[in-house]
Structure 1
Amino acid sequence: MGASGALHCGAVTRLGAGRVRACAGATAPSSVVMLGTTEMTNQEEAEMQISELDLLSSMFPYEEEFAVTDQLALAELKHYAENESAEVPSSKVQFVLNVKAEVPNASVVEFSMACALPFKYPTVLPEITVRSSLLSRSQQIHLNSDLKTYLMQNCRGEPCMLSARQWVKDYAAAYIDKELSSSSVTTASAIQAEVTTFTRLWIYSHHIYNKQKRKNIIDWAKELSLSGFCMPGKPGVVCVEGLQSNCEEFWSRVRRLTWKRILIRHREDVSLEGGGHAEIQNQRKFSTLEEKCFDAHGARGNHMDLGQLYHFLEEKGCADIFQMYFGVEGH
């Protein structure tokens, strides 16, 4: 498509103790030490991601232009960047950039860039999928393939979201059928389905003994229309499922309590077009959230029968989670 012109973000991002890294095309002042091929630490990569997200937020302050769709992952990333001993984030930061471009004979068309930043970004490329209601499947595949090629050739190892956005703004319209009429643009935009995300969080705690915490877990889940279960004792296991925003609110409340250790062991996200009540209910593996005790034993009665936990998970179609928690296959 002839869309390989060099675009550069031209921004400078601070790293750690006063070090900076310049994006491709930016001119570095004499006091700046260019990192070149020096391998970045995980902490530096996390800091660069946060700096770039802050830049996007300041440049595109309205939600219809830029929106982080996974606030939980962003909170985990910030916590990791600020604490060297913190757990590695359990999920990628995901966000949407919406770009308006002119299409011949069809006024203005909006392209949506669904973006995810892998933990090692910008050492590795971001994951970007460009969509529009006016693109056929083959056109969308072609567009996304060319965008990836452009990023590989011009942006590897550098923050590149602004470059990717500019590429979409400049070239995406050329992938749409030239005969498209303005009336079809209006029709396609009107029928574009709303997308809702269903989330399931698998939370691990060193232990869950405190009665008030156990009550909070059940009460908050009920308040937020979340289902799942809580297994108290040592270790503690909590699963919640429901709308993504409600799961994030639940996790935000729970992690603020005092814990010896608590983290998200696994996360599942499913995009639902329409997001009606029936679709959400169909995704649930649990009908409500309840506390589950499996033959408590031990000196304080605080150890559960993990074999029974495995069979419970197996009945719910979640047996593979057992190995993620405990590192061994259940039986």
Structure 2
Amino acid sequence: MSYLEWAESQLAELELLSSMFPTQEELEVTDQVALAELRAYVEGSAPRDSPPSSRPHFLIKQKLDTGSTEMTDVILSCAYTSEYPSVLPEITIRCASLNRAQQTQLHADLSAYLIGNFQGEVCVLSAVNWVKENLHLFINRSLSTAPAPKKEFASPRSRSQEVFSRLWIYSHHIYNKAKRKNILEWSKELGLSGFSMPGKPGIVCVEGSQSACEEFWSRVKVLTWKKIMIRHREDIPLDHQGEDSRNVESIDCLRKFSGFEEAVFDPHGNRGNHMDLGQLYQFLNEKGCCDVFQIYFGIEGR
């Protein structure tokens, strides 16, 4: 399919969703400019040499009966990729009745369902129906057998098992605003430092306790990506010899980044989605991790 055919499918699905969810309390298009650009591209009133740079993002809001005394509020946050429906849309489910483990499993199962049944087809309405039919299973699922979450600071005995991790994540691209916001918010929530570089390719580095890094990765990887992987990882066991020992290694002293930020390096290209890799190399060099540049790109930076 061509970009125009993909765009036509996207616009047709949005019009169908608008007819099924006619009020803003049910369907909210959060970026009207992106929708207008998509419509102009399909109708031919805008140049067709390249697809619109902005992508439609919308919220589908539902009140579902999950067996509790009150209806459960659920929001499906949806964003189209340029190649949708050949590539799955980015769908995030928000529901206050789900804890983090339930939400992670829900996203994983929904992604598996869509990949197995709707690859190459529009699927947002099918995703809504699947959530309607299955949400109660996740809310009511017993987590009594789930292992207790690891605590970063516990007794000296448990602290001796702590591991500091640094994950270097590669994505084919990172464009979507909602996804970029998730990366920033989740890293802050989990106490991780590092950076994310949007554009094509997309790069994310997170560092901190191993349990927090793994939790971050479990959330990120279940989002819809064209391609995402951990390109490289560093795991360093912490050597706790005593409360007052100078040799005690801590997570903070191993960090190479003081906080978490979105780093942009002179974006260029027709869509402004390519970063200056020379500036990226200098940034990594200043942080003392320039060797990872060759791991990402197969060449030595300069």
Kindly name which structure, 1 or 2, has the bigger radius of gyration based on alpha carbons.
Answer: 1
TM-score by length of 1: 0.44
TM-score by length of 2: 0.48
